[in-house]
């Protein structure tokens, strides 16, 4: 039943082209201490594609605006002719073509939603995607309305010497009263979600890039003065992204200037505004002293991601927000390809798949499950999800796999050529891929409309007498909200069959077909299919779903011997790692059983032996060794294993395994630590990163013993480390242990780094994810720490987010205190920053995965939240969570 005042649901099926179009926008933004005035000159015309459009009133959207003036073609509009309500300005009897002037007043200083125009540490900045432009002026705030923007920004010159907007600076000058202005012109038509403006006192780092066609592009990074020493890596990553996009996709940058601005208060990672990217400081600043290798990696990939949007998102944009994955899925795929080319491709793939399996699979089996192209939403900001982004990227990756590298490039060339300057749909993307390659992807399109993770069950059968080996695949997708019936999907399964020597056998099917050795995939299209291979002289070991060629849950029973064999022989790096994971999970399941039965934990010697050979064989790729030694996280296991989630058994089995491995392999672990000494000088290069990661994995194991010797080593590393990767690894191991030394180290770390906001975030995060039993009490204390700020999303993610997401055993405390804590924070954030509040609320949507006691406690908190006056963001999540 629909409740009173329930926010309304928007549906893809109701999409209609706009009645009016806007060709040009002249914005004049005047920043004053108390308020900001925005004068907007729009040239508007009825949409020729819509019959009778000019007979309709013009409906502009606006939020939190005070309208000061309104004119059409230079004449004031009388008050009978227009109407204003909470969200719209409706003007009746407008001409078929006219110029509209509005003047509105806004208050960026009180805007804590970080959407629209707001202030972060004294700097004015904007965030307009998805629907923030309506908080700046009345507009047709939808992506299929594309206009040419000219923006004049005016402010006090001393307080705001830097005034930026999209495009090229055309004019600047001084005004009376110590004020000044700059006029920016963006020659490309764009939807308003790509609009940006910055006013502040910022320092700049400059460089340049010469494009394929010899145009010189000025590159600028704007940061606070004390961050000037953290810009090199982002600048370097930007230049590499520009070169890569020219080489791999034939895409050149189009303006003469590319600016990136770093801000401390930002709801997500970064934003691809045309020519003026705005970045969370955490995704742009990096240097050895303050940033871990993971941080460096993140900067590289986010810089690339936002840069790649210039083509996949800005030049070709989305028709409506249901098509979000058109730009996000494709751009994530592009940034993943880039990172794979820059570093270790296999390690990158493993990390991406882990995220998908941990977060996206969980989302897709819960009440927020949606297709990568959703059918409906209440609040679009709730749909910037791992499904739209990461599963969206997997869907593009499958197209790449099906068409091959060259076919995919032909398709992307056609897509960019056909749709440059347009706002299009996911279907247009698939159509370009089809047309360029002469293929039919009609069945494949189901990936766009069907939600849920398919389960793919594989059974193998070997007939020695016929020298035949068969693989039978059965796919099934469980119902998701609003989609009770599911259809089979087109699934590319990359495979190999390993002979006794560990080499791949030639793949010959009984029907005479061969599997392309250059692209060995089986294409599934039905609910159940069998493939029979001939000429197989001995029983092979199958390596299925190599490279994780499709986002499915694979159920394939293989023996521990087979897994160990794959672990050392598979020529597919991803599956070699995956075999190690599967073997580890099998052992963890033994230990969970033992834990539940209150029996002593004993580790399968096969795993011990496998890990020993990983540690001692120096010929192996060290990055891979580090990855294979990493135990699956508790969150990963919670998603993977049968429900209800055995929170405590998972935690204790994992801790127990870690400790047993450390005790059994102590000398090998110590030898690796000796073999990988601390670096005198930091370099961010694949082999050095691998060495650090291996060393710190070993340190983590040894610290699970936490005796005097291990602790002494750890404290020593903490003090001697010359970079944040090594210092933080030691810090984390100490803080997560029960050693007394940690109190001194926690204080010491803060003393050393209190001036570096991003390092303080790490300090919060490490403490909030400690498995020690008093962590919630510690977190409650830290909420009152002077460095904690409820209006800064980075701080919220570091403390509240880390506790609730990365600390299952404490968050899911049986007394429900963790849930009560989260609900309190959601209630506070709902008023301050609905987007961040609703992100936090998604954690509570998974109550059905837990035992009755915990599920009831979570539901009680959801109900408590529901009694508040909720933002649409939180309302949507909480209602869907309760109605599942």
441 binds, among Zn ion, ligand B3K, none (CB under 5 to 8 A by kind): none
Q: For residue 110, give Cα distances in angstroms to 113, 606, 645.
A: 9, 61, 42
152 binds, among ligand B3K, Zn ion, none (CB under 5 to 8 A by kind): none
190 contact choice in ligand B3K, Zn ion, none (CB below 5 to 8 Å, kind-dependent): none
Torsion sign over Cα 815, 817, 823, 826: negative
- The residue nearest ligand B3K at its CB is 129
Smallest distance, ligand B3K to C-beta of residue 318, A = 10
Query: Judged by CB, which is closer to Zn ion: 388, or 544?
Result: 388
268 binds, among Zn ion, ligand B3K, none (CB under 5 to 8 A by kind): ligand B3K
CB of 99 to Zn ion, least distance (A): 34
**DSSP string for residues in 206-246:** EEEEE-TT--EEEEEEEE-GGGGGG-HHHHHHHHHHHHHHH
User: Is residue 197 part of the contact set for ligand B3K (CB under 6 A)?
Assistant: no
Smallest gap, in angstroms, from Cβ of residue 309 to ligand B3K?
A: 6
Query: Which parts of 329-358 interact with Zn ion (CB under 5 A)?
Result: 331
Residue 130 binding ligand B3K, by CB under 6 A: yes
130/362 with CB nearer ligand B3K: 130
Q: Contacts by 244-251 with C-beta closer than 8 Å and gap 24+?
A: 244/304, 244/338, 244/341, 245/307, 245/308, 245/311, 245/334, 246/211, 246/212, 248/337, 248/338, 248/341, 248/409, 249/311, 249/334, 249/409, 249/412, 249/416, 250/409, 250/413, 251/308, 251/310, 251/311, 251/416
For residue 538, how many other CB atoms are within 10 A of its CB?
Answer: 12
What character string, x for contact with ligand B3K (CB under 6 A) and - otherwise, covers 248-287? Answer: --------------------x-xxx---------------
| Closest to Zn ion by CB, 331 or 437 | 331
What is the C-alpha separation between 614 and 485, in angstroms, rounded?
A: 45
Of the pair 40, 268, the CB lying nearest ligand B3K is at: 268
Q: Which residues, 301 to 340, sit near ligand B3K by CB under 6 A?
A: 305-306, 309, 328
User: Site for ligand B3K (CB under 6 A): which residue of 63, 72, 77, 129?
Assistant: 129
Q: Does 300 sit near ligand B3K (CB under 6 A)? A: no
**Site for ligand B3K, residues 368 to 397, rule: CB under 6 A:** 381, 384
Shortest Å, Cβ 234 to ligand B3K:
15
Least separation in angstroms between residue 273's CB and Zn ion is 12
Pick from ligand B3K, Zn ion, none: which does 369 bind, CB < 5 to 8 A by kind? none
| Footprint on residues 71-90 left by Zn ion (CB under 5 A) | none
Size of the residue set binding ligand B3K (CB under 6 A):
12
For the question of residue 306 being annotated catalytic, the response is yes
- Residue ranges of E strands in 499-618: 521-524, 528-533, 541-544, 553-556
Residue 381 near which of ligand B3K, Zn ion, none (CB within 5-8 Å, type-dependent) = ligand B3K
Q: Indicate which of ligand B3K, Zn ion, none lies near residue 639 (CB less than 5 to 8 Å, by partner kind).
A: none
CB 325, min distance to ligand B3K, A: 11
CB of 207 to ligand B3K, least distance (A): 22
Q: Is 512 exposed, middle or buried (0-12, 13-18, 19+ CB in 10 A)?
A: exposed
Spatial CB neighbours of 747, under 8 Å, sequence gap ≥ 6: none
Residues 289-328 that bind Zn ion (CB under 5 A): 328
CA gap 52, 56 in Å, rounded:
7
Please give the Cα distance from 312 to 294 (Å, whole number).
Answer: 26
Pairing state between β 148-156 and 20-31: parallel
Nearer to Zn ion, 333 or 533 (CB): 333
Tell me the DSSP string of 698-733. Answer: HHHHHTTT--HHHHHHHHHHHHH-SSHHHHHHHHHH
Please tell me which residue in 129, 306, 562, 876 is annotated as part of the active site. Answer: 306
Q: Which is nearer to ligand B3K, 127 or 581 (CB)?
A: 127
**HEC profile for 841-873?**
HHHHHHHHHCCHHHHHHHHHHHHHHHCCCCCHH
User: Which is nearer to ligand B3K, 129 or 154 (by Cβ)?
Assistant: 129
Confirm if 185 and 171 have CB atoms less than 8 A apart. no
DSSP state string for 808-835: HHHHT-TTSHHHHHHHHHHHHHHHH-HH
Residue (130 or 136) nearer to ligand B3K, CB: 130
Nearest-approach distance from CB 551 to ligand B3K, in angstroms: 19
Q: How far apart are CA 610 and CA 710, in angstroms?
A: 23
Contact set with ligand B3K (CB under 6 A): 129-130, 268, 270-272, 305-306, 309, 328, 381, 384
Contact set with Zn ion (CB under 5 A): 328, 331
Would you please indicate which residues are annotated as catalytic (active-site) residues? Answer: 306
């Amino acid at each position: 039943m629909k409740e009173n005042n329930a926010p309304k649901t928007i549906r893809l099926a109701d999409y209609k082209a706009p009645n009016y179009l806007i060709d040009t926008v002249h914005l004049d933004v005047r920043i004053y201490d108390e308020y900001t005035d925005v004068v907007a000159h729009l040239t508007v015309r009825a949409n020729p594609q819509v019959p009778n459009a000019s007979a309709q009133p013009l409906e502009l959207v606006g939020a939190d605006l005070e309208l000061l003036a309104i004119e059409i073609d230079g004449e004031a509009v009388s008050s009978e002719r227009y109407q204003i309500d909470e969200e719209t300005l409706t003007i009746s009897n407008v001409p078929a073509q006219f110029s509209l002037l509005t003047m509105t007043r806004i208050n960026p200083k009180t805007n804590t939603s970080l959407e629209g125009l707001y202030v972060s540490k004294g700097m004015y900045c904007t965030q307009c995607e998805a629907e923030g432009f309506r908080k700046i002026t009345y507009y047709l705030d939808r992506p299929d309305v594309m206009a040419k923007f000219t923006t004049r920004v005016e402010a006090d010159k001393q307080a705001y010497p830097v005034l930026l907007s999209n495009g090229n600076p055309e004019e600047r000058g001084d005004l009376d009263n110590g004020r000044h202005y700059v006029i920016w012109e963006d020659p490309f038509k764009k939807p308003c979600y790509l609009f940006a403006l910055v006013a502040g006192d910022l320092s700049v780092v400059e460089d340049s890039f010469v494009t394929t066609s010899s145009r010189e592009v000025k590159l600028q990074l704007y940061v606070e003065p004390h961050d000037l020493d953290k810009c090199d890596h982002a600048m370097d990553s930007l230049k590499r992204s520009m070169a890569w996009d020219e080489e791999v996709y034939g895409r050149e940058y189009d303006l003469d200037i590319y600016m990136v601005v770093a801000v401390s208060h930002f709801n997500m990672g970064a934003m691809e505004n045309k020519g003026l990217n705005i970045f969370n400081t955490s995704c742009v600043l990096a240097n050895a002293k303050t940033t871990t290798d993971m941080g460096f990696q993140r900067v590289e990939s986010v810089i690339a991601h936002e840069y790649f949007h210039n083509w996949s998102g800005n030049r070709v944009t989305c028709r409506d927000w249901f098509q979000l994955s058109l730009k996000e899925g494709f751009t994530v795929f592009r940034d993943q390809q880039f990172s794979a080319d820059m570093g270790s491709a296999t390690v990158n793939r493993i990390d991406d798949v882990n995220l998908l399996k941990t977060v996206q699979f969980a989302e897709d089996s819960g009440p927020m499950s949606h297709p990568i192209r959703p059918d409906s939403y209440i609040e679009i900001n709730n749909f910037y999800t791992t499904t739209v982004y990461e599963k969206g990227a997997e869907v593009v990756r499958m197209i790449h796999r099906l068409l091959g590298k060259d076919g995919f490039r032909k398709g992307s060339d056609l897509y960019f050529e056909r749709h440059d300057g347009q706002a299009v749909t996911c279907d247009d993307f698939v159509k370009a891929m089809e047309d360029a390659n002469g293929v039919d992807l009609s069945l494949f399109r189901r990936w766009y409309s069907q939600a849920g993770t398919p389960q793919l069950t594989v059974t193998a059968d070997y007939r020695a007498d016929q020298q035949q080996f068969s693989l039978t695949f059965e796919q099934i997708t469980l119902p998701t909200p609003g989609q009770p019936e599911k259809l089979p999907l087109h699934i590319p399964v990359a495979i190999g069959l390993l002979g006794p020597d560990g080499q791949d056998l030639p793949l010959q099917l009984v029907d005479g077909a061969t599997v392309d050795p250059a692209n060995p995939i089986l294409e599934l299209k039905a609910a159940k299919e069998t493939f029979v291979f001939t000429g197989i002289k001995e029983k092979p070991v199958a390596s299925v779903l190599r490279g994780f060629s499709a986002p499915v849950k694979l159920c394939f029973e293989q023996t521990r011997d087979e897994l160990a064999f794959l672990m050392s022989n598979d020529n597919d790096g991803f599956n070699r790692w995956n075999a190690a994971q599967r073997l580890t999970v099998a052992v963890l399941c033994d230990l969970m059983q033992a834990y539940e039965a209150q029996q002593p934990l004993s580790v399968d010697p096969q795993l011990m032996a496998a890990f020993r050979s990983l540690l001692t064989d120096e010929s192996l790729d060290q990055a891979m060794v580090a990855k294979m030694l990493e135990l699956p996280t508790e969150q990963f296991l919670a998603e993977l294993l049968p429900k209800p989630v055995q929170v405590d058994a998972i935690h204790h089995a994992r801790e127990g395994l870690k400790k047993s491995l450390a005790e059994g392999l102590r000398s090998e672990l110590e030898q690796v630590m000796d073999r990988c000494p601390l670096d005198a000088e930091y370099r961010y290069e694949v082999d050095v990163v691998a060495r650090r990661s291996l060393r710190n994995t070993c340190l983590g194991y040894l610290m699970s013993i936490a005796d005097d010797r291990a602790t002494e080593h750890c404290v020593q590393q903490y003090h001697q480390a010359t970079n944040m990767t090594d210092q933080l690894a030691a810090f984390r191991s100490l803080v997560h242990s029960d050693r007394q030394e940690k109190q001194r180290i926690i204080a010491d770390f803060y003393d050393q780094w209190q001036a570096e906001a991003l390092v303080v975030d790490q300090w919060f995060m490490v403490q909030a994810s400690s498995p020690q039993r008093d962590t919630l009490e510690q977190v409650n204390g830290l909420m009152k720490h002077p460095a904690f700020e409820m209006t800064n999303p980075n701080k919220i993610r570091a403390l509240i987010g880390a506790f609730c997401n990365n600390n299952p055993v404490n968050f899911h405390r049986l007394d429900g205190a963790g849930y009560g804590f989260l609900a309190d924070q959601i209630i506070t954030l709902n008023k301050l920053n609905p987007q961040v509040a609703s992100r936090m609320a998604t954690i509570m949507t998974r109550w059905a995965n837990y035992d009755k006691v915990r599920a009831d406690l979570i539901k009680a908190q959801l109900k408590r939240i529901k009694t508040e006056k909720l933002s649409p963001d939180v309302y949507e999540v909480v209602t869907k969570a309760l109605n599942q």
